[in-house]
């Protein structure tokens, strides 16, 4: 029987949740507000929160100085491309680990996860030299390959967790009906794990979108995404906080909108299999 929750406890929980949410969101809110200030107001002491002369001049200056839409398109291609390729590789891999008995499955999963513990700078030089020699330097294809390999352990781990919650009896019934391996994965397993796959896709799009280390070191002009677009406003001439905030707001706005409209699917996927 469900335990009754008092109205007072509901109010306390709601207030605490909103307070934590505002605390986490405050840095983003401050960046958005700073983007509408002049450079003088952006560095004023004490800082002004809402009562200042609002201006959109920073956005016009940022667009004049940089081609925002080119950087935006590069981010879209790189993040979605790396995530889709990662899913194509990870779905069969996670299926094998979840439904094919093996004593080394956990060891393989831990080995894959351990690759995330290596500092990226440790392999920067060899990857940079390889990309330079094969012509992948400053190309969207090169970044797609790198980000796919970087995020692949996370994709496999998440999908493995979701697949483990699917009853194996369903797959065995499909095999008894004559379903081939390809049909089992495409038409039985994948549709049942749509919430988990969707949340994995969304999370890895966000990770690829926010990746800065590799995008700054492996690109120059042709394939630079929005992370490089933001970094271009930190120069030896000084930090222009208002313009930097405007560039940051333009870079995070698409992913914030995506997260807002897909939050229901994301939460559903992250809690997939939590309650039986």
Residue 138: how many CA atoms within 13 Å on its side-chain side?
4
What pLDDT does residue 133 have?
A: 92
Q: Which CATH architecture has domain 66-232?
A: Orthogonal Bundle (1.10)
Which residues have CB under 8 Å from 103's CB, separation 6+?
A: none
What pLDDT does residue 147 have?
A: 93
User: Rounded to whole angstroms, how far apart are CA atoms 269 and 12?
Assistant: 27
The two three-digit tokens of residue 115, written as one number: 């690759």
Distances (CA, A) of 57 to 36, 44, 50, 187: 8, 18, 17, 52
By 3-state DSSP, what share of the chain in percent is helix, strand and coil, each rounded to 5?
75, 0, 25
pLDDT tens figures, 172-196: 788 787 778 778 777 888 888 888 8
Which residue in the block uniquely carries the two structure tokens 């960046």? 31
Look at the pTM and tell me if it is higher than 0.95. Answer: no
What pLDDT does residue 113 have?
A: 81
The answer to whether residues 142 and 214 touch, using CB atoms and an 8 Å cutoff, is no
What pLDDT does residue 235 have?
A: 62
Domain spans in the chain, listed from the N-terminal domain onward? 66-232
What pLDDT does residue 1 have?
A: 45
Which residues have CB under 8 Å from 143's CB, separation 6+?
A: 78, 82, 214, 215, 218, 219, 223, 225
User: Rounded to whole angstroms, how far apart are CA atoms 138 and 218?
Assistant: 6
What pLDDT does residue 276 have?
A: 45
User: Rounded to whole angstroms, how far apart are CA atoms 87 and 204?
Assistant: 10
**Torsion angles phi and psi, residue 244, rounded to 5:** -65, -40
Question: Quick check: helix, strand or coil at residue 131?
Answer: helix
Among candidate residues 199, 191, 206, the one with its CA nearest the CA of residue 256: 206
Low-confidence ranges of the chain (pLDDT < 70): 1-5, 101, 103, 234-239, 265-276
Among candidate residues 22, 174, 205, the one with its CA nearest the CA of residue 95: 174
The answer to whether residues 246 and 58 touch, using CB atoms and an 8 Å cutoff, is yes
What pLDDT does residue 146 have?
A: 93
């Amino acid at each position: 029987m469900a335990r009754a929750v008092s109205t007072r406890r509901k109010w306390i929980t709601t207030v605490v949740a909103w307070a934590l949410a505002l605390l986490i969101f405050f840095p983003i809110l401050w960046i958005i507000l700073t983007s509408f200030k002049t450079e003088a107001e952006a560095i004023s002491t004490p800082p002004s929160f809402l009562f200042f002369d609002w201006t959109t001049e920073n956005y016009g200056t940022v667009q004049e100085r940089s081609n925002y839409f080119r950087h935006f398109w590069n981010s879209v291609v790189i993040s979605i491309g790396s995530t889709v390729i990662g899913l194509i590789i990870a779905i069969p891999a996670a299926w094998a680990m979840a439904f094919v008995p093996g004593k080394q499955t956990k060891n393989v999963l831990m080995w894959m996860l351990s690759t995330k513990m290596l500092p990226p700078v440790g392999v920067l030089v060899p990857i940079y030299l390889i990309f330079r020699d094969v012509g992948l330097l400053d190309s969207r294809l090169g970044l797609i390959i790198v980000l796919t390999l970087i995020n692949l352990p996370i994709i496999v781990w998440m999908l493995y967790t979701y697949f483990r919650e699917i009853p194996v009896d369903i797959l065995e019934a499909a095999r008894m009906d004559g379903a081939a391996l390809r049909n089992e994965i495409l038409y039985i397993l994948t549709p049942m794990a749509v919430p988990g796959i969707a949340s994995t896709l969304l999370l890895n799009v966000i990770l690829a979108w926010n990746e800065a280390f590799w995008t700054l070191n492996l690109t120059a002009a042709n394939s630079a995404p929005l992370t490089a677009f933001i970094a271009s406003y930190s120069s030896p001439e000084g930090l222009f906080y208002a313009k930097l905030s405007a560039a940051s707001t333009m870079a995070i706005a698409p992913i914030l909108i995506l997260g807002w409209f897909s939050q229901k699917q994301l939460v559903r996927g992250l809690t997939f299999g939590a309650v039986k």
